[in-house]
Amino acid sequence: MGSYSSNMTISIRSLPVLLDCDPGIDDAFALAYLACRHDVETVGVVTTAGNVGQDDVLRNALGLTELLGMDVPVARGADVPLVEPMMTAEETHGPHGLGHAQLGECGRRSDVRSGAQLWVDLAHRYAGELVGITTGPLTNLALALREEPELPRLLKELHVMGGAINYRGNTGPTSEWNIAVDPEAAHEVFEAWGKASRRVVLGALQATEVIRFDEEDRRAIEGLGSHPVVRVLADALKFYFEFHQADGLGWCAYLHDPLVVANAVTGKFASTRPLAVDVELAGTLTRDQTVGDELGRWGKKPNVDLLCDVDARGFIEHLMATLRGGLG
């Protein structure tokens, strides 16, 4: 029997990912996670006004990618939603979006392209390969769809953190933050994927709120290592704990975004079920609600694969190990 040379190398291409985010404390953890994944190439970052205003989310994305050593274009997205007046959540994420953390001066500059244009350019450059992930409002993606309606077919997958299906909201009684900031944009995205017979992988609140950091997890973040981004994450997370406690949820923090990002790049930590989903745009009491047609009354094919059956402890252990391996 012949033998293989030990000098043979096998090239495995990294998974190209575009992250559209509004950093944001849990967005910061999502960025750090991607930076620590050696099998992922983050090929673009787009910022969306949401948790705080556009100037702050852009500054945070530039500063975090610089600290993390991510050589990636960061594009400024839309400053305001398509229709809805702008609202932000400084009480949740701090006055500049990263809680108690201070990023300091940043030498990076944003890409000359708009956020929507970066979506379109990268979708064409990595046609059939690009995994798009949104952890903020869907404004930029909706604008990109208006420019390039073929995006649902150009992307390999789209993963969205947003919505609450048959579950209480975290903004209004039935609405989740990312959808509530720009419900028209979310409607356009869900509708476009449905028309293309594709499905959005949707991480709604009933899945992401399973990821509940406790004090032991908080201390584990503080002990990750000496990398400068560890202090940023730790200081931001402490503020997040303080917010959750003030909101009556106890000394804890829900880390929504990293679960959606980790599921996008590993396919693990949750299962999915198909569902037809849309966003209520007219209700007096229920505007912004993400509605799932559980009984098939609309007669529409599913346009969403909804995350469910989350392995919370398995994911948290994976997140810690990934951050420790990359930042320790």
Q: What is the CATH number of the domain that holds 111?
A: 3.90.245.10
Rounded mean pLDDT of the chain? 95
Question: What's the start-to-end Cα distance of the chain, in Å?
Answer: 44
| Per annotation, catalytic residue among 159, 187, 244, 256 | 256
Per-residue pLDDT tens digits for 129-171: 999 999 999 999 999 999 999 999 999 999 999 999 999 999 9
User: What's the pLDDT band for 274 if we cut at 50, 70, 90?
Assistant: very high
Cα 177 to Cα 158: distance, rounded to the nearest angstrom: 19
DSSP 171: S
Inform me whether the pLDDT recorded for 103 exceeds 50.
yes
- In 3-state terms, what secondary structure has residue 277? strand
**Tokens 């003030």 sit at which residue?**
246
Per-residue pLDDT tens digits for 37-66: 999 999 999 999 999 999 999 999 999 999
User: What's the pLDDT band for 6 if we cut at 50, 70, 90?
Assistant: very low
Cα 59 to Cα 23: distance, rounded to the nearest angstrom: 9
- 1 assigned to some structural domain: no
DSSP character string of 207-253: HHTT-EE-HHHHHHHHTS-S-HHHHHHHHHHHHHHHHHHHTTS-S-E
- 197 assigned to some structural domain: yes
Inform me whether the pLDDT recorded for 2 exceeds 70.
no
- 222 assigned to some structural domain: yes
| Amino acid 328: pLDDT | 77
Owning domain of residue 61: 15-327
- 6 assigned to some structural domain: no
Inform me whether the pLDDT recorded for 10 exceeds 90.
no
pTM above 0.75, yes or no: yes
| Amino acid 105: pLDDT | 87
What's the CA dihedral at 189, 70, 129, 27 to 10 degrees?
-30
Q: 187 an active-site residue?
A: no
How many domains does the chain divide into? 1
| Amino acid 3: pLDDT | 34
